[in-house]
Amino acid sequence: MSTSSPISQRTLILIRTSHHCESRLKYLLSSWIPSTEIEQREKNLYLLTDQYVHNSISYQKFVNIIETGCPKKHRKYDLCCKTASEFELYYNLTLIIKLSFDWMCRFDDDHYINLDNLYLYLNKLDASKPYYIGRTTYDNQKESYFYNVTFRFATYGAGVCYSKQLLNQLKFYVNKTAFSNNCIKLGVNDDVYMGYLIQLKLNVSLTPINDLIHSHYEQLDASFRRFTLQQLINSITLGFSWDRYQLKWMPVIHKLIYLSKTTQEHTAIMTVWNFIRDYEKLHSEDLVNKYDDSCTSYQTKIKTETKTKQQLLSTRI
C-alpha cells in the first residue's frame, strides 16, 4: 500500500516498562532503540512507565516518556490500567495533537524489535481495514467467562499491532476506568481481554504471525535459537527473559542481524550464530530455577517468599 509518507512516520511504537525494571532498558538502548533524539522522534517511539526514575541514565536517553499513573505492581488491574494508557496516548496524539498514524504497535521491555521487518510487513497492509496482529499463545484458545464461546488472543509477550480502523472501533471500550474494571470482572489479564473485545464485541479476527514474532513463553526446546540464520533475520520480534534467552544477549543478536545485512562474511556470522544456539545445550544449569533478577519487584517477591518459608520452618521446629 503506497502512501505519501514513509511507514515509519505512520507507525506509533510504544514500549511498556516499570520503574522496577529500569535495568532492562540499557539492553534495548544498546540494540534496537535509536540512539539519537531525531531518530526516536522520527520513529514516533514512546516509553510508558508507572514512574519516572530520575537518576536513571537509561530513562534520560528516551525522548518521549509517559507516566501512566497506574499502580506500580503486576496485578491484573495494574496491567489493564497500563494497557488502557497505551490507547489513551494514541487517541491523545491523533485526536488532540492531530498526528496521523496508520498503526499502533506495543511491546514490552524484554522484546527485541527488528523495526525494518516490522515496517516491511505493515507496509503491505491496508490500515483502513481492521487489523489485530500478533502471536497466539501455545494453547491457542481462551474460554470467555461470560459466554460459552472460545476466542483467540494475541499474547502481549510477543508484541501486538492495531490498525487505524480497529483503533477507531476500539475507542469506546478502552478508556482507563471501563477497561480496567471490565478486566477484573472477567478475571483475565489485559491481552486476554483485548482478544475478548476485538473478536466478540467487534467481530474482528486475529491475524496471527507466529512465524515472525516470538515471545519468551515459547518452550525451552522450541526457543528462537532453533532458527536458521535466515529465520532469525526475517523475524519481527524476539522475546528475551531471565531464565532462557537472557537480555544480555540482545545487543549480540542485534549486531549479528546488522552484520548479516551489511557484510558478505557469511562463515563468520554463522560461527557466531552457532555459538549462541549451542549456549543452551552447554549451560543447561541456566535454564531452570531462575527468577527475573532484572526487575526489583521480582527480587522483593522472592525475598518475601523465602522469608515466609523460613518463618514457617522455624515455627514448626
153, 196 in Cβ contact below 8 A?
yes
What is the secondary structure of 204-259 as a DSSP string?
Answer: --EEE-TTTB--TTS-GGGSGGGS-HHHHHH-SEEE--SSSS-GGGHHHHHHHHHH
From 234, 233, 283, 282, select the one nearest 259 (Cα to Cα).
233
pLDDT at 153 over 70: yes
pLDDT at 152 over 90: no
d(CA 308, CA 160): 38
Q: Please state, for a pLDDT cut of 90, what percent of the chain lies above it.
A: 57
d(CA 166, CA 129): 7
DSSP SS3 for 163: strand
- pLDDT tens across 212-265, in order? 998 877 765 566 778 889 999 999 999 887 666 788 889 999 999 999 988 888
What is the predicted pLDDT for the residue at 286? 61
Report residue 308's pLDDT band, with 50, 70 and 90 as the boundaries: very low
From 254, 251, 245, select the one nearest 279 (Cα to Cα).
245
DSSP SS3 for 316: helix
Comparing 180 with 91, which gets the higher pLDDT? 91
pLDDT at 175 over 80: yes
Report residue 305's pLDDT band, with 50, 70 and 90 as the boundaries: very low
Q: How many CB atoms lie within 10 A of CB 18?
A: 24
What is the predicted pLDDT for the residue at 149? 72
Q: Which of 130-144, 194-208, 241-255, 286-300 has the lowest mean pLDDT?
A: 286-300
From 45, 48, 80, select the one nearest 174 (Cα to Cα).
80
Grid cell 506500580 in the structure block, residue: 72
What domains does the chain contain, in order, with CATH numbers? 10-312 (3.90.550.50)
What is the predicted pLDDT for the residue at 92? 95
- Pull the grid cell for residue 126: 491496508
216-220 long-range CB contacts below 8 Å, 24 or more apart?
216/110, 216/157, 216/240, 216/241, 216/244, 216/245, 217/137, 217/138, 217/155, 217/157, 217/158, 218/138, 219/138, 220/244, 220/280, 220/287
- pLDDT tens across 121-142, in order? 999 999 999 999 999 875 445 5
Cα Rg of the chain, angstroms: 20
Euclidean distance between the first and the last CA atom of the chain, given in angstroms as a whole number: 71
From 111, 96, 146, select the one nearest 13 (Cα to Cα).
111
d(CA 295, CA 211): 29
DSSP SS3 for 25: helix
pTM here is 0.88
What is the predicted pLDDT for the residue at 94? 95
